Amino acid sequence: MAKPRVFDVTTLPGFTFIAILAFVLLYAPIITLVIYSFNGGDSVNQWGGFSLEWYAVAAKNEAVQDATARSLIIAVWASVISTTVATMAALGTTRRGKFTGQTMIYVIINQPLMVPEIVTAVALLIFFSSVKVATGYTGLGYLILAHSAFCIPFAYLPIKARLEGMDTAMETAAADLYATPWQTFRYVTLPLLLPGVIAGAMLAFIISLDNVIITEFVKSAGQDTLPTYMLGQLRRALTPEVNAISTALLALTVLILTVFVFVTKKRD
Amino acid sequence: MSRRKTRRSKGLDGWLLSAPALILLVLAASGPLLIVALYSFLEKGDYSGVRWILSGEGWFRVLFERDIFDQTVSLADANLSIFWRSVKLSIATTIITFGFGLPTAWFIATRPAKSRAFWLFLITIPFWTNLLIRTFAIMEVIRNQGILNTFLMHFNLISEPIQILYTDTAVLIGMTYVYLPLMVLPLYAAIDRFDFRLIEAGYDLYASRWQVLRGVILPIIKPGIIAGSILVFIPSLGAYVTPRVLGGGKNMMIGNFIELQFGQGQNWPLGAALSTVLLLVVLVSLIIYTRASSRDDSNG
Amino acid sequence: MLSAGAQRKLKAAAGEIDVNTDIAIDARNVGKIYGAGASAVTALGDVSISIEKGEFFTLLGPSGCGKTTLLRCIAGFETPTSGSIHLSGTDITYDPPYQRPVNTVFQSYALFPHLTVAQNVGFGLKMRGASAADVAKAVDRVLALVKLEDFANRLPQQLSGGQQQRVALARALAPEPQVLLLDEPLSALDLKLRKEMQSELKRLQSETGITFVFVTHDQEEALTMSDRIGVMSAGALLQVGTPHDIYDRPVNRFVADFIGETNFLDATVEGNQVRIGTGDLLAVPLQGETGAVTLAIRPEQVSVTSAQTGISGKITEAIYMGTDTHYTITLKDGSPLVARIQSKSSGAFDVGDTVGIAIDAQAVQVLKS
């Protein structure tokens, strides 16, 4: 017996099927990667039982240790620097009406989102190689500088969104209650802005941690980060070790994103 | 304290507060792009780098090549096939991601308010996950001893593995996979703002489901479609990691070709010229996008 | 009997008001123009006003009349484009808001969502550098004043609208400002709560003795609460006076129309009387007006009788409003006249009745046409 069909204006033929298929196709490869990172045995083609063996191998590998430390150092610096300057820029470009050159500022800030990464990478390679020759300095500074720059738009967007959602009446009320501009910032604007700043810093951290192309072009010899190390290890198939590192990075990303969702949700 | 001063300081404060970010960006992002443009007009150095002599050779070599012996000029077929592959794969990626992206975005936007955040989160995880890791993941699926071939062989659907890895198909599958979230998110943003009563109005006026989709939904969410297409097309055209991992050495795209000029090819001016071309294509796409979306605004 | 306003005028004439000690706010020729050139908008045009210490002063007018702009100029959130503002004799026109001993109760309350009620109330004193002990003492005192002692550790979003309103009041009162500015603070409350807060505000004002400058578009609110009212329209101050002054002796048609309901009848002066459109003569108080004038007649100054002597007309509409009934009477010449009659009074009239009309001629205001 045929069920009476309820007419729902929001359904379109086949859309739900394709959508579910898309989610399955998005997650199947990632889940496979995660499962195989727990594969015991040496063959990447055969399931050899559950094991944390490859995590142990990766953890003991000095190159992995170095790359991890380097990735974290760069990501911490880049997120601190980019979030600081992005917060200032967000304060400068919102809540004060339109001013000359505002669009120009937006374009420069969002530029890393628009230009293909390979082009920026090539540009930095050319620029930094001459600076390296001129100064003789080949340290991590170049990577930190490059990462800080391309992280700025990612830090800027959530901070700007938060500021635009904040009622300017708060600052007016503070000024009315004898708070100087600095006190107003310290006791009213900054506490209210904090979720946006934390969100921005987390996005910047993820973006820095994940970067491959620019890092690959800017790094000096022996300055591998985790992603460039993994790219360098690439053969016909993934080594189980790279699989394990990928899964660990993936877990870190999911963790940060979950915290991000909670931080941006709360107080609203 | 004068009135005049307080009013003028609005813009000045804006610039002063933005200055550190701008300096950082000009130093390590926008500024060096100009150096690239400059390098494209210099002469190639003996090993790498450039000689500071003006030359059009870099730009010449984008499209043409000279025979080593008799200096005859001919079109550089290898280069052209790389450009063609890049454009072809990028357009295909954009179309396929739209095919999957529209239903997916629609599906998320029509979930009840509570579970919508969850589905959106499911799209955001791949979006923020390392591109390299996602490319590795798809490689694990399509390689000869990967899940797909193993599965098909296990059920005797094929007798020997299909060679997908290191073909254009592999690059296309990979780019579709890694850039799908970039299509879904702007489409979702557009559909989320969509007033569903308009669909009711469409059905009320005797439109069929396909007519509603074509005549009502698609025109209204057009800005989202354009945004999604640009967001997928631009990184596809400049893709480097995905074609390198999945395409192997032979199936290069522009990104890999540029890298080659700064690596083994050691032709910086050519690499710089290619980068400039890529930059110009992106710039044109962005201008088309801005035009298209502002025209949409004026139509209301 | 002299009205409060007239008493003030006498005091001023006798030199009893000292501009420097008795005047809290003195705005002199204040103008505010937004934009420039062809797109310039005049929000305030040359407004002068003196508000006495300890006074409950209300700025009344329709939205967009400039009342809020004037308030924001006094608070320091806007800078006038011309003129000056003095607080107790000191020019504060260009002082930033945080240097003015003036506090504001905002229409939206603008409570800090990240601070508790106590921290909100203590904010002003803390910013001025008061010791923690002094802040705590002042917070306790002011919270007791607005009866919110038990809510000190709550966050603003955990309070009802009425309670948030009290916190906003307490926060503005805590630093003991010379002048308290209230920007339509009751507009977000429902009717019952609004009535409660009106008497609460009056009580607070008399208990603290602070000068209140209150902005509203609600004429009833202005009449019940204020010592004096300034009526504003289109950036200009039309009339300043006590509620009685404003209600009984409006200076022009706008004020008469805005404050309460008013009938306007065209008339011509003939000797010491005026002739209205029906041909009838009325002995209204004249002060040398000649020619065409407009009479402003309050509905309660019109009485209706069944005896058809004098002015007569036909009832075309009767609206029952509880205590009163409003009758619209069309006079012989076609002009409408509204009468407000107590509902319980004997002999109710029906639509279509022809009735006689008596106007309390001495209470009629004569306005120049």
Give me the residue from B15, B128, B209 closest to A253, CB to CB.
Answer: B128
Which chain B residue has the Cα nearest residue C80? B3
pLDDT at B1: 39
Is A26 a residue whose pLDDT tops 90?
yes
Radius of gyration (C-alpha) of chain B in whole angstroms: 24
Helix, strand, coil % (nearest 5) of chain C? 30, 35, 35
Token code pair at residue B10: 């609005």
Task: Give B164-211 pLDDT, tens digit per residue.
Answer: 889 999 999 999 999 999 999 999 988 888 777 777 787 777 777 778
Q: Which of C198, C209, C219, C310 is nearest to C262 (CA)?
A: C219
Interface test with B, best of C73, C79, C91, C92 (most B CBs within 10 A): C79
- Report the gap between the CA of B124 and the closest CA in chain C (Å): 29
Please give the mean pLDDT across all residues of chain B. 86
List Cα–Cα distances, B49 to A83, B43, B44, B63, C83, in angstroms: 35, 9, 7, 21, 68
User: Which residues in chain A have Cβ-Cβ distances shorter than 8 Å to B184?
Assistant: 22
Sorting pLDDT into bands at 50, 70 and 90, what band is A90? very high
Determine the distance from the C-alpha atom of residue B226 to the mean position of all C-alpha atoms in its chain, rounded to a whole number.
Answer: 13
pLDDT at C17: 54
User: Which residues in chain B have Cβ-Cβ distances shorter than 8 Å to C79?
Assistant: 3, 6
Lowest mean pLDDT among C72-86, C115-129, C321-335: C321-335
Task: Give C160-209 pLDDT, tens digit per residue.
Answer: 988 999 999 999 999 999 999 999 988 888 888 888 889 889 999 988 89
Dihedral sign from CA coordinates of C146, C147, C152, C154 = negative
Q: Region C141-154: what's the mean pLDDT?
A: 91
- Domain borders along chain C are 4-101+177-254, 263-368
Query: What is the pairing mode between strands C292-297 and B50-54?
Result: unpaired
Dihedral sign from CA coordinates of A125, A128, A133, A134 = positive
Is B7 a residue whose pLDDT tops 50?
no
- Domain borders along chain B are 75-299
Token code pair at residue B97: 């991601």
In angstroms, rounded to a whole number, what is the distance separating the alpha carbons of residues B131 and A216? Answer: 14
In angstroms, rounded to a whole number, what is the distance separating the alpha carbons of residues A112 and A144? Answer: 15
Is B59 a residue whose pLDDT tops 60?
yes
Please give the mean pLDDT across all residues of chain A. 88
DSSP structure class, residue C365: E
Task: Give C208-235 pLDDT, tens digit per residue.
Answer: 899 999 999 988 889 989 999 999 999 8
Non-local (6+) Cβ contacts of C168 within 8 A are C105, C106, C109, C110, C111, C185
Chain B contacts in chain A segment 171-230 (CB below 8 A)? 203, 206, 209-210, 212-213, 217, 227, 230
Sorting pLDDT into bands at 50, 70 and 90, what band is B299? very low
Could you tell me which chains touch chain A, where touching means 3 or more CB pairs under 8 A?
Answer: B, C
User: Which residues in chain A have Cβ-Cβ distances shorter than 8 Å to C77?
Assistant: 172, 175-176
DSSP secondary structure string, C110-168? ---TTS-HHHHHHHHHHHTT--HHHHHHHHHHHHHHTT-GGGTTS-GGGS-HHHHHHHH
What are C88's strand-pairing partners? none
In angstroms, rounded to a whole number, what is the distance separating the alpha carbons of residues C264 and C269? Answer: 15
Task: Give A35-59 pLDDT, tens digit per residue.
Answer: 888 888 766 667 777 888 889 988 9
CATH architecture under which domain C263-368 falls: Beta Barrel (2.40)
Give the neighbor-by-neighbor strand order of the sheet with C324-331. C302-305, C354-359, C311-321, C324-331, C336-342
pLDDT at B199: 77
User: Which residues in chain C have Cβ-Cβ distances shorter than 8 Å to B3?
Assistant: 79, 81, 94
Sorting pLDDT into bands at 50, 70 and 90, what band is A266? low
User: Which residues in chain B have Cβ-Cβ distances shorter than 8 Å to A212?
Assistant: 130-132, 241
Radius of gyration (C-alpha) of chain C in whole angstroms: 24
pLDDT at A268: 44
User: Which residues in chain C have Cβ-Cβ distances shorter than 8 Å to A166?
Assistant: none
Is B238 a residue whose pLDDT tops 80?
yes
Q: Region B138-154: what's the mean pLDDT?
A: 86
Q: Do B2 and C94 touch (CB under 8 A)?
A: yes
User: Which residues in chain A have Cβ-Cβ distances shorter than 8 Å to B110?
Assistant: 10-11
User: Which residues in chain C have Cβ-Cβ distances shorter than 8 Å to B6?
Assistant: 79
In angstroms, rounded to a whole number, what is the distance separating the alpha carbons of residues A151 and A117? Answer: 12
CB pairs under 8 A between A and C: 64
Task: Give B80-128 pLDDT, tens digit per residue.
Answer: 999 999 999 999 999 999 999 999 999 999 888 888 889 999 998 998 8
Give me the residue from A13, A81, A123 closest to B209, CB to CB.
Answer: A13
pLDDT at A54: 86
pLDDT at A267: 47
User: Which residues in chain B have Cβ-Cβ distances shorter than 8 Å to C32?
Assistant: none
Non-local (6+) Cβ contacts of C330 within 8 A are C313, C314, C316, C336, C337
Chain B contacts in chain A segment 38-97 (CB below 8 A)? 44-45, 81-82, 84-86, 88-89, 91-93, 96-97
Q: Region C144-164: what's the mean pLDDT?
A: 91
Q: Is A216 helix (H, G, I), strand (E, B) or coil?
A: helix
How many Cα neighbours within 13 Å face the side chain of B228? 31
- Report the gap between the CA of A186 and the closest CA in chain C (Å): 11
In angstroms, rounded to a whole number, what is the distance separating the alpha carbons of residues A113 and B110? Answer: 29
Which chain C residue has the Cα nearest residue B7? C79
The count of other CB atoms within 10 Å of the CB of residue C135 is 21
- Report the gap between the CA of A1 and the closest CA in chain B (Å): 25
pLDDT at A5: 57
pLDDT at A7: 63
Is C16 a residue whose pLDDT tops 60?
no
Q: Region A4-16: what's the mean pLDDT?
A: 71
The count of other CB atoms within 10 Å of the CB of residue C276 is 22
Give the neighbor-by-neighbor strand order of the sheet with C273-276. C281-282, C273-276, C263-270, C292-297, C365-368
Contact B147, B140 (CB under 8 A): yes
pLDDT at B2: 41
Task: Give B75-87 pLDDT, tens digit per residue.
Answer: 888 889 999 999 9
Please, what is the end-to-end C-alpha distance for chain A in angstroms? 49
Non-local (6+) Cβ contacts of C26 within 8 A are C19, C49, C50, C51, C85, C86, C87, C89
In angstroms, rounded to a whole number, what is the distance separating the alpha carbons of residues A233 and A248? Answer: 16
Give me the residue from A9, A108, A116 closest to B237, CB to CB.
Answer: A116
Is A70 a residue whose pLDDT tops 90?
yes
pLDDT at A114: 87
Is B49 a residue whose pLDDT tops 50?
yes
What are B54's strand-pairing partners? B42
In angstroms, rounded to a whole number, what is the distance separating the alpha carbons of residues C256 and C260? Answer: 7
pLDDT at B3: 42
Contact A83, A156 (CB under 8 A): no
Contact C65, C50 (CB under 8 A): no
pLDDT at B54: 86
Question: Which CATH fold would you assign to the domain C4-101+177-254?
Answer: Rossmann fold (3.40.50)
Entry pTM: 0.81
Give the containing element (helix H, strand E) for A219.
none
Give me the interface pTM, i.e. the ipTM. Answer: 0.86
In angstroms, rounded to a whole number, what is the distance separating the alpha carbons of residues B98 and B187? Answer: 9
Region of C305 (left: φ > 0; alpha: ψ -120 to 50; beta: rest) is beta
Question: Which CATH fold would you assign to the domain B75-299?
Answer: MetI-like fold (1.10.3720)
Is A11 a residue whose pLDDT tops 90?
no
List Cα–Cα distances, B131 to A29, B172, B178, in angstroms: 13, 15, 7
Could you tell me which chains touch chain B, where touching means 3 or more CB pairs under 8 A?
Answer: A, C
Is C21 a residue whose pLDDT tops 70?
no
Query: Which phi and psi (to 5°) does residue C275 adopt?
Result: -105, 125
In angstroms, rounded to a whole number, what is the distance separating the alpha carbons of residues C328 and C313? Answer: 10
Q: Which of A38, A22, A154, A143 is nearest to A86 (CA)?
A: A154
Sorting pLDDT into bands at 50, 70 and 90, what band is B298? very low
Chain C contact for A165 (CB, 8 A cutoff): no
pLDDT at A1: 46
